[in-house]
Structure 1
Amino acid sequence: MENNLFLEVCGVSKIFPGIRALDKVSFDIREGEVHAICGENGAGKSTLINVLAGNYRPDEGYLKIKGDRVAFANQSEAIEAGIAVVYQERSLVGNLSVEENIFADKEPLNRFGFIDGKELSRRTKEACQKIKLDLNPKMLIQDVSPADQQMVEIAKAMTTDCKLIVFDEPTAALTDRETKVLFELIQEFKSKKISVIYISHRLEEIFEISDRVSVLKDGKYIGTKNTVDTNMDQLIQMMIGRDLVIDAYKPYYTDKVALKVENLCGARFENINFEAYEGEILGFSGLAGAGRTETFRAIVGADRLYSGEITVYGKKVKIHNTTEAIQCGIGYLPEDRKEEGLFLEQSIASNIISGNMNAAEKNGFLSDKMEFEVAEKYREILNIATPDVKKLVGELSGGNQQKVVFAKWLLVNPKILIVDEPTKGVDVGSKSEIYRIMRKLAKKGTCVIAISSDLPEILQISDRVIVMHAGHISGECKRSEMNEEAIMRYSSGLA
């Protein structure tokens, strides 16, 4: 064994009913290295994280730390061994404060054995300052933006005496500025000989930040490369076992206005005016907090609209809730799939048909057989990684959950489909599939509005881009005018 190895994963397997999530996986992590792990949704990344974190015990194989074999019965034992995890799906408690979340179960106590409030606030401020996060320690997590919640997760992990920190899609909710801060922190970890496992579907980040990269596919270990010795095409080939096919851009929009909004005002936006066309993919870009999500939540009736008018295919409409939005022909795929897009304790099939129960009716009654046939059809279309559509949707990986939400709206077949972060947490192969589905919808005449923080995504899929800054529309780019610099200038309010 090399002296600088911190962690060894030795032939680890994890088996669930009907699926072998990890199949004799073996690789190692060196001290002070950034080791990226790639793979499509369902490759086994989340299961591996849970094994490292002590949430799952391997059915076969074992872990070694510094050459010594270890077996974690729970999270506490993993933390004691020096392993901290920043999860993709945030594990914070909304009705607790920032400080209570960061120091949960490790609050400083006074000499009487009670929580020392002043010391707790001081330590929280210190932890936040390390990651350039300016938050009131007493603020409730539910009142904190998704991006800042992700930074709180990072601060929480850093309060442990970690020797290995695992980041699972850490930048999915972060702005470019916050991502830069995170990467600077990771460089600090390296200088202190702290190892990092970095899991991301954003391959450009992996080439920027990692020393080595390992690939998983269908629960199996495919191989490890020095990052400097490989390229994006090779990684994609290892991940999906084929070359990635990217469709050439082709517009399908007409001059018929599908959606028109005039002078919309709400809690986080004002004076919003735009038109979206039949068959168009209209991108909405902007930094976190710009008001994009809030604008469209108000349009579909999920949040209160203070004033303004909404017109759908020439007809003025009043929408008070999402059911009325559907009746007007508007579908909405939310950013937070767990809280708003899925029924986690129900099956994949039940979730897919939940927006259009008629699709599974026979002679006026809901048919289990029809439900499963419909779900199976969309499982194949979107390549949802599951052996059975009767499986609980809460047991799927994040990316596969996103595909289920997408399947639900494909079944509804709305005239206008609003998708908020459509490929958040989705692997590179599935992204390509989802883009293709969006193009097929546009070809059929559906107006698709895509809200995305991923600039390469916006540039690839959009016929036109509208950019928001501080609750206002700050700019618009036609396809011929679209580039990262122009969008970033509008996003920053500089143009």
Structure 2
Amino acid sequence: MEPALAVEVDGLVKRYPGVTALDGVTVGFPTGKITAVVGENGAGKSTLMNILAGLQRPDKGLVRVFGEKVENFDPHALLTIHRVALVPQELLLCPERTVAENVLLGLEPSRGPIPSRRQMRQRTAGLLEDLGSNIGPGRVVADLSVAEQQEVVIARALARECRVLILDEPTAVLSPEESERLFALLRRLRNSGTTIVYVSHRIPEVFSLADKICVMRDGRLVKEWPTEEAAPGTVVRFMIGRELSEWDHEPAVGPEPLCSVRGFGGPTFRDVSFELMEGEVLGVAGLPDSGRNELLGSLFGAITPYGGTVQLSGRLLWISSPRDAIRAGMAYVPAERRTQGLLPTMDIADNLAVLRLKRFTRLGFVRWRALRREAARQAERFGVRCRGVGQGVGELSGGNQQKVILARWMEVKPRLMLLEEPTRGVDVGAKDEIYELLQQMTQEGVGVILASSDLPELLRVCDRIAVMRLGRLVGFLDREHATEEKIMALATGVEEGAA
């Protein structure tokens, strides 16, 4: 008879230079259940998952899987001996190979030295059918969506007879529809007896999916409940150790529009017109193919517009590059912060100072001491949690990386801030701090255009919401009348018009 707990963690400690990532964590994951592990970035969640998957070795403590003590913290040992598999945020697949080749990599059925492609396709098709997936085993992985690639990784784990499946932020880049498809798959796996450990920042999905919730903070397990005994507000308070702030502001509306856009077009949108007042937050909602993110990229000159006019502070602009946009008083935070918003190989100080480098340059030489002193002031002002501004920006959590980008822009005092998915992959505490920074900007009269797939976020921070569908702006909803249902009705074409 199997023990009640599939995985038992007892007194786990993991230290890095200057940091204690895990500080005596003791927790259990019930057999055949979905356990959610939540916490702010830096709480220790990923370190714990990496240890359970054999990617790291603890300094102290022990782990038991189905009653057997783990002696060898190695990915191969955890998977083949203990049947524990990890689905990481960055999916590790061979993109130019087929689905079948990825699923059965190292397990290829063969007669002699040559793998049997027919048997590989049959075996993979059976695994995918068990998952309720309709992906063809002969498809090339590079042609799959992120959601489909996740299914391939899960099928690969099942091919190795995994009994414990760990998922680390699996919905960070998925649409709501793709997320629901993943949830249905995970429920089927749970019902078939698989134990699932689910790491997420998204509290609503945790409550809809998990049987048990564990909260981590500062490397410790601070609370755990059966889901039916927990409440979202209580979970958040344990995560961040405080109450969330309220977004409550009156736009500093001037007598004239701050920004006026007329007949604006681009590669995936056309004939977009709107006005933005000083201190106003205008949300842009829509499905992934609506053109919402491309609209912001085109306003900033990162994507070449096809026509139309843009006025900022009463001045007609011609934006042909990001340099033109910055000179005009625009700032832009792209959705892909790691690849487009940061200098990932450089440190925090360099990332904070990149827009104001001339200020720290004399006779062609950079005054590094002054630059780093100013960067330290910025990091403290904007709440960037780091070991020092000489730390690599790539080592920061997602929330702190986003605060670096916002701090960089706020120091040059833009008139218009363009934000794409500003809190994607950011924990609830850092998200709250980012909202506070936005509130500071709007109180100073800065206009904000915020494109997001997170409908609760739009409803919380926006004064108006513009809804796009298939490249066209199809309606506006003001703060008092906007609901998720009304936004989706406009975004899907169920309802036309404006409230």
In the other structure, the counterpart of 1:437 is 437
Unmatched 5+ stretches in structure 1 = none
In structure 2, do the counterparts of structure 1 residues 189 and 261 end up closer, same or farther at CA, with 3 Å as the change threshold?
Answer: same
The residue correspondences of 1:357-372 to structure 2 (distance < 5 A) are 357-358=357-358, 360-361=360-361, 365-372=365-372
Three-state SS of the structure 1 residue aligned to 2:480 is: helix
In the other structure, the counterpart of 1:214 is 214
1:404 maps onto 2:414 in alignment = no
Unmatched 5+ stretches in structure 2 = none
In the other structure, the counterpart of 1:18 is 18
TM-score, length-scaled by structure 2: 0.89
What's the Cα RMSD here?
A: 2.9
Percent pairwise identity? 34
> Aligned partner of 2:57: which letter?
R
> Aligned partner of 1:52: which letter?
L
In structure 2, do the counterparts of structure 1 residues 153 and 256 end up closer, same or farther at CA, with 3 Å as the change threshold?
Answer: farther
Three-state SS of the structure 2 residue aligned to 1:355 is: helix
In structure 2, do the counterparts of structure 1 residues 2 and 121 end up closer, same or farther at CA, with 3 Å as the change threshold?
Answer: closer
In structure 2, do the counterparts of structure 1 residues 164 and 140 end up closer, same or farther at CA, with 3 Å as the change threshold?
Answer: closer
In the other structure, the counterpart of 1:42 is 42
In structure 2, do the counterparts of structure 1 residues 230 and 121 end up closer, same or farther at CA, with 3 Å as the change threshold?
Answer: same
Hey, what's the Cα distance between the residues in 2 that align with 1:20 and 1:193? 34
Hey, what's the Cα distance between the residues in 2 that align with 1:229 and 1:83? 28
In the other structure, the counterpart of 2:86 is 85
Hey, what's the Cα distance between the residues in 2 that align with 1:123 and 1:272? 50
Residue 61 of structure 1 and its aligned partner are, at CA, apart by: 1.8
In structure 2, do the counterparts of structure 1 residues 154 and 2 end up closer, same or farther at CA, with 3 Å as the change threshold?
Answer: closer
In the other structure, the counterpart of 2:283 is 283
Residue 423 of structure 1 and its aligned partner are, at CA, apart by: 0.9
Hey, what's the Cα distance between the residues in 1 that align with 2:151 and 2:295? 24
1:290–1:469 contact (8 Å) kept in structure 2: yes
In structure 2, do the counterparts of structure 1 residues 212 and 432 end up closer, same or farther at CA, with 3 Å as the change threshold?
Answer: same
In the other structure, the counterpart of 2:33 is 33
1:382–1:434 contact (8 Å) kept in structure 2: no
Which one has the largest radius of gyration?
2
Hey, what's the Cα distance between the residues in 2 that align with 1:480 and 1:224? 37
1:211–1:226 contact (8 Å) kept in structure 2: yes
The residue correspondences of 1:343-382 to structure 2 (distance < 5 A) are 343-358=343-358, 360-361=360-361, 365-382=365-382
Residue 66 of structure 1 and its aligned partner are, at CA, apart by: 1.1
In structure 2, do the counterparts of structure 1 residues 71 and 319 end up closer, same or farther at CA, with 3 Å as the change threshold?
Answer: farther
Three-state SS of the structure 2 residue aligned to 1:193 is: coil
2:99–2:136 contact (8 Å) kept in structure 1: no
> Aligned partner of 1:430: which letter?
A
TM-score, length-scaled by structure 1: 0.90
Residue 254 of structure 1 and its aligned partner are, at CA, apart by: 3.1
Three-state SS of the structure 2 residue aligned to 1:253 is: coil
Three-state SS of the structure 2 residue aligned to 1:327 is: helix
The residue correspondences of 1:63-462 to structure 2 (distance < 5 A) are 63-80=63-80, 81-92=82-93, 96=96, 99=99, 102-103=102-103, 105-106=105-106, 108=108, 111=111, 113-114=113-114, 130=131, 132=133, 138=139, 141=142, 154=154, 157=157, 159-358=159-358, 360-361=360-361, 365-462=365-462
2:32–2:190 contact (8 Å) kept in structure 1: yes
Residue 314 of structure 1 and its aligned partner are, at CA, apart by: 3.1
Residue 29 of structure 1 and its aligned partner are, at CA, apart by: 0.7
In structure 2, do the counterparts of structure 1 residues 269 and 56 end up closer, same or farther at CA, with 3 Å as the change threshold?
Answer: same
Three-state SS of the structure 1 residue aligned to 2:377 is: helix
Hey, what's the Cα distance between the residues in 2 that align with 1:75 and 1:356? 45
Three-state SS of the structure 2 residue aligned to 1:354 is: helix
Three-state SS of the structure 2 residue aligned to 1:481 is: coil
In structure 2, do the counterparts of structure 1 residues 16 and 487 end up closer, same or farther at CA, with 3 Å as the change threshold?
Answer: same
2:7–2:64 contact (8 Å) kept in structure 1: yes
